[in-house]
Amino acid sequence: MKNRVIVITGAGSGLGASLAKKYSEMGAHVCLLGRTENKLKEIGKQLPNNYSIHTIDVSKLNDVKRVFDTIVHTYGQIDILFNNAGVGIFNLAEELDEEAIHSMIDINLKGTIFCSGEVLKQMKKQNSGTIVNIVSTAGLIGKATESVYCASKFGVKGFTESLVIELTGTPISVFAAYMGGMNTDFWTGIFDENKTSKMMNPDDIAEIIMENIKPRKNIAIPEIIIKNIK
């Protein structure tokens, strides 16, 4: 991983932070992307190797262009993009307000589309790269009180599967991770500690993803499903 450039959205906590630490330990330069600079700085302090911080609103295309142009201009390449930024607001469909609906569609779906579109321009120029979309099992099956969250994640699933087809025969790979609930700040205010303590460890999920996206001769792994043991 030395001299590799890894870009992670939603890097300020949870799975994004776990991925950042593990790639940094391997010698990669990690670009920490997120909305809250202080959270990114706190993660950066925990990294043993070079990193950079980029505040971004992935739901705004101009902001995405600005950040990705800066990364490419500064470091010359992007080897792996993790579309990890996401938000979930759970309630009955008729109880969700307009802001909540826009937030989930804009960040979860449009953010993934915008970041992927920008990184593909660079990956096609360098003739290499990997896009990893963190989808959630909410992109595979509908769930009560998660209607719009599921809708956003089903959209990411369709987008990802289409990218796989578009990029078949190229050196660029696309990978989707569908996982159940992880013990992260995502669930703050939704579940109590008793429930979150039984969820998956994001460090474990990071290791599984990293192992599955390693390039291997004559092998392609477009997706994995990781479930909690109930």
Residue 50 falls inside a structural domain: yes
Yes or no: say if 2 and 27 are a contact pair by the CB < 8 Å rule. Answer: yes
Structural domain contains residue 60: yes
pLDDT tens for 104-131 read 999 999 999 999 999 999 999 999 999 9
DSSP 158: H
Asked if residue 230 belongs to a domain, the reply is: no
Three-state secondary-structure class, residue 47: coil
pLDDT over 70 at 190, yes or no: no
Number of Cβ within a 10 Å radius of residue 101 = 17
The Cα 79–Cα 57 span in angstroms is: 21
pLDDT surpassing 70 at residue 136:
yes
Instruction: Provide the pLDDT for residue 129.
Output: 96
Distance CA 7, CA 29 (A): 9
Give the C-alpha separation, 178 to 172, whole Å. 20
* pLDDT (0 to 100) of residue 143: 92
pTM of the predicted structure, to 2 decimals: 0.91
Size (the chain), residues: 230
Active site residues: 149
Q: What integer best gives the mean pLDDT of the chain?
A: 91
Domain-embedded: residue 171: yes
Q: Is residue 146 part of a domain?
A: yes
3-state secondary structure of 54: strand
For residue 82, the domain's CATH number is 3.40.50.720
List Cα–Cα distances, 188 to 29, 66, 182, 217, in angstroms. 30, 31, 12, 42
Residue 52 lies in a domain: yes
Average pLDDT over residues 183-212: 75
Maximum C-alpha span of the chain = 50
Q: Which of 223, 184, 209 is nearest to 82 (CA)?
A: 209
Q: Cα separation of 110 and 116, whole Å?
A: 10
> Given a cut of 60, is residue 187 above it in pLDDT?
no
- Average the pLDDT over 175-203 and give the result: 73
Task: Enter the tokens of residue 10.
Answer: 């939603």
Beta bridge partners of 82: 8, 132
What residues make up the domain containing 158?
Answer: 5-224
pLDDT of residue 197: 66
Strands (DSSP E) contained in 70-189 are 80-83, 129-134, 172-179
Coil, strand or helix: which one is 13?
A: coil
Domain count within the chain: 1
Instruction: Give the whole-angstrom CA distance, residue 68 versus residue 119.
Output: 7
Residue at 229 is within a domain = no
* Distance in angstroms between the alpha carbons of the first and the last residue of the chain: 35
Inside any domain, residue 10: yes
User: For residues 113-142, b (16+ Cβ closer than 10 Å) or e, as one string?
Assistant: bbbbebbbebbeeeebbbbbbbbbbbbeee
